[in-house]
Amino acid sequence: MDDLVNSFMTGPDEKGRFGIFGGRFVSETLMPLILELEEEYERAKTDDSFWAEMDFLWKHYVGRPSPLYHAERLSERLGGAKVYMKRDELNHTGAHKINNVLGQIILARRMGKTRIIAETGAGQHGVATATVCAKFGLKCVVYMGAHDVERQAPNVFRMRLLGAEVVPVTSGRGTLKDAMNDALRDWVTNVRDTFYCIGTVAGPHPYPAMVRDFQSIIGKETREQMHEAEGRLPDTIIAAIGGGSNAMGLFFPFLDDKSVNIIGVEAGGKGVNAKMEHCASLTGGRPGVLHGNRTYLLQDDDGQILEGFSISAGLDYPGIGPEHAWLHEIGRAKYVSITDKEALEAFQLCCETEGIIPALEPSHALAHVMKIAPELPKDHIICMNMCGRGDKDIFTVAKHLGFDMSDTEGRTAD
Amino acid sequence: MTRIDAKFAQLRAEGKKAFVSYIMAGDPDITTSLEVMKGLPGAGVDVIELGLPFTDPMADGPTIQLAGQRALDGGMTLNKTLQMVRDFRADDDTTPIVLMGYYNPIYSHGVDQFLTDAKEAGIDGLIIVDLPPEEDDELCIPAQKAGLNFIRLATPTTDDKRLPKVLTNTSGFVYYVSITGITGAAAAQATDVGPEVARMKAHTDLPIIVGFGVRTPDTAREIASVADGCVVGSAIVAEIAAGKSPADVLSFVKGLADGAHSA
Q: Does the structure show a pLDDT above 90 at A317?
A: no
A352/A313 Cα distance (integer angstroms): 23
Task: Quote the pLDDT of residue A410.
Answer: 53
Percent with pLDDT over 90 in chain A: 84
List the CATH number of the domain containing B118.
Answer: 3.20.20.70
Chain B interface includes A172 (CB < 8 A):
yes
Tell me the average pLDDT across A199-206. Answer: 97
Average pLDDT, chain A: 94
B32/B38 Cα distance (integer angstroms): 10
Q: Does the structure show a pLDDT above 90 at A13?
A: yes
A199 three-class SS:
coil
CB contact (8 A) between residue A28 and residue B152: yes
State pLDDT tens for residues A138-158: 999 999 999 889 878 889 999
Task: Quote the pLDDT of residue A414.
Answer: 47
Q: Does the structure show a pLDDT above 90 at A412?
A: no
State pLDDT tens for residues A64-122: 999 999 999 999 999 999 999 999 999 999 999 999 999 999 999 999 999 999 999 88
B117/B111 Cα distance (integer angstroms): 10
Q: How many residues does chain A have?
A: 414
State pLDDT tens for residues A289-314: 999 999 999 999 999 999 888 888 77
ipTM, interface predicted TM-score of the complex:
0.96
Annotate A13-57 with DSSP letters as a single string.
-TTSEETTEEEEE--TTTHHHHHHHHHHHHHHHT-HHHHHHHHHH
Task: Quote the pLDDT of residue B231.
Answer: 97
Q: Where does the pLDDT of residue A2 fall: very low under 50, low under 70, confident under 90, or very high at 90 and above?
A: very low
Domain count of chain B?
1
Q: Which of B62, B134, B181 sits opposite A188 (nearest CB)?
A: B181
B91/A119 Cα distance (integer angstroms): 47
A200/A241 Cα distance (integer angstroms): 10
Residue B252's domain comprises 3-261
Q: Does the structure show a pLDDT above 60 at A413?
A: no
Percent with pLDDT over 70 in chain A: 96
Task: Quote the pLDDT of residue A407.
Answer: 66
**Structural domains for chain A:** 17-59+97-211 (3.40.50.1100), 65-94+216-400 (3.40.50.1100)
Express the helix, strand and coil content of chain A in percent, nearest 5 each.
45, 20, 35
Which residues of B are known catalytic residues? 49, 60
Nearest CA in chain A to B161: A32
Return the higher-pLDDT residue of A316 and A129. A129
Q: Which A-chain residues 7-66 have CB contacts (< 8 A) with chain B?
A: 15, 23-33
Q: Does the structure show a pLDDT above 90 at A397?
A: yes
Residues of A in contact with B174 (CB under 8 A): none
Residues β-bridged to residue A274: none
Taking only the tens of pLDDT, chain B with its 263 residues reads: 899 999 999 999 999 999 999 999 999 999 999 999 999 999 999 999 999 999 999 999 999 999 999 999 999 999 999 999 999 999 999 999 999 999 999 999 999 999 999 999 999 999 999 999 999 999 999 999 999 999 999 999 999 999 999 999 999 999 999 988 888 877 888 888 999 999 999 999 999 999 999 999 999 999 999 999 999 999 999 999 999 999 999 999 999 999 999 99
Task: Quote the pLDDT of residue A408.
Answer: 59
Tell me which residue of B37, B150, B128 sits closest to B83, measured CA to CA.
B37
Nearest CA in chain B to A294: B104
CA distance A372 to chain B (A): 36
DSSP class of residue B42 equals G
